[in-house]
Amino acid sequence: MTLWCGDEKLVLASQSRARRMLLENAGLACEAVPADIDERAIQAEAGLVAPYEIALHLAVAKAQAVSAIKPNSYVVGADQTLALGERMFNKPAGRQQAMHQLLALAGRTHALHSAIAVVNNGEVLFSHVAVAWMTMRTLTESDVAAYLDAAGQAVLSSVGAYQLEGLGVHLFDRIDGDHFTILGLPLLPLLAYFREARLLRF
């Protein structure tokens, strides 16, 4: 049974299995409709440099793109940025890039900014950005190669070339932040908004 009580089905503007799992485990059945947008072009056009601003801008853009084809639905858009100081990281294009990224992050603390936006008929009703601080173990090149061998292609779907809910957990010494934020969907503030909007059964 779903706890969602909106007139239209809840829509997630993402193909992320982790985000959909978080919603469904919380009792919110949803339809996943990935946003067909060029994230890097939208980011460049906006001219934003702060990681949290970029994450929020892209979360809104995704939700609005899907809202245009899902009228009357409540659409949740989400985006996540990874910053090591002033250096921003994107999803690696291949194994070699994943290797370089992980070696750059090894032994250091980086920030994950996770943004969400709720849009209905193009209007932004709610938005939020949360941050988690991730301290990675000191890793050798052979350590990273062994991890990449074990994790396979899954690393290419994550902005940091790791998935904390899987083998990526072995890369870390310390984590300061909300588990949901790390998985890319700050769930508690989202549920609080839905309750306030009377879209949940309790």
Q: Which residues are catalytic?
A: 79
DSSP per-residue letters across 53-66: HHHHHHHHHHHHHH
- Residues in contact with 49: Cβ distance below 8 Å, sequence separation at least 6, in sequence order: none
3-state secondary structure at position 155: helix
Strand partners, 89: 82
Torsion of CA 87, 90, 93, 98, to 10 degrees: 60
| Both structure tokens of 19 | 């985000």
Q: C-alpha distances in angstroms, 72 versus 18, 82, 102?
A: 25, 32, 42
Q: Tell me which residue of 157, 162, 161, 111 sits closest to 134, measured CA to CA.
A: 111
* Cα dihedral 94/97/102/105 (nearest 10): -140
Strands (DSSP E) contained in 51-171 are 74-84, 87-89, 109-120, 123-136
